Amino acid sequence: MGGPTANTTDVTSENVHGTNPQRIVEKILRTKVYATQYWKESCFGLTAETLVDRAIELSHVGGTYGGTRKPTKFMCLLLKMLQIQPDLEIVVEFVTNEDYKYVRALGALYLRCVGRPADIYRYLEPLYTDYSKLRVRTFEGWHITHLDQFIDELLTEDYACDIALPHLPKRWHLEKAGQLGPRVNSAAGLDGDEEVSEEEEEVVQEEAIVGRLKMKGGSSKKRRREEEAAPAQDEDRVADGHDLDIEATNALRAKLGLKPLR
């Protein structure tokens, strides 16, 4: 009766942030996860190796959905990872794989929950260059985000996927402590662009000003041509209208037996 159950944290797991790793997910949400059919049928007996098969099947990220705030499959697998605590090497494989974006997102969230601050920055910052679209399921419905935005949320926010994230020190604190080197932007050609950005910006601004002046000059000339042509057109319309008025008047005068005006 007192032995481990399907919801018990693995006995070989270590405490994270001074507590049972499953407690990173709030108790109410954990209880909801334990009650889901997906947890009972698909997460039972999973190991670090077999969990990969379930992660590959993921089609969205998110914490809870619907009016009753049901846990998503993504959240169920996160809690399973917290329960079995896979090795860092496996988590890194999740994060660095380029074939399955939802596996990458799952690994990133798990690492954010349990990893050391230096490892979190070291493995998640390179994902800023991954712009893959992610479907997000929330209690408000569905929406689209991108993996780089998801990573930015993990590194800068205190809350993600309906769970409170452990405190993460600012990057500059770790740099000052010698735990991290200066951030290297892995975006191709970005450093070179920054070196000439001021010169390019001046050239672009000058071209934009010249272009606006040309457009303004051209439009002014066009307006002048239209204004010059307008009086002549108006005079023609007035003359034609005047002739029509005289003809109509003469026709009426003829009916009345009067002499025409001209």
Per-residue pLDDT of the chain (262 residues; tens, 9 = 90+): 444 567 877 766 677 777 888 899 999 999 999 999 999 999 998 998 899 999 999 999 999 999 999 999 999 999 999 999 999 999 999 999 999 999 999 999 999 999 999 999 999 999 999 999 999 999 999 999 999 999 999 999 999 999 999 999 998 888 888 888 887 766 554 444 444 445 555 555 665 565 555 555 555 555 566 555 555 444 444 445 555 566 766 666 666 666 676 6
- HSE toward the beta carbon, residue 131, CA cutoff 13 A: 2
pLDDT at 106: 97
CB 26 within 8 A of CB 74: no
Instruction: Name the pTM for this structure.
Output: 0.69
Provide the token pair at 220: 């002014």
What residues have CB less than 8 Å from 25, skipping those under 6 apart?
A: 33, 75, 78, 79, 82, 163
pLDDT at 192: 42
pLDDT at 190: 45
Provide the token pair at 115: 């990893």
Largest CA distance in the chain: 124
pLDDT at 132: 97
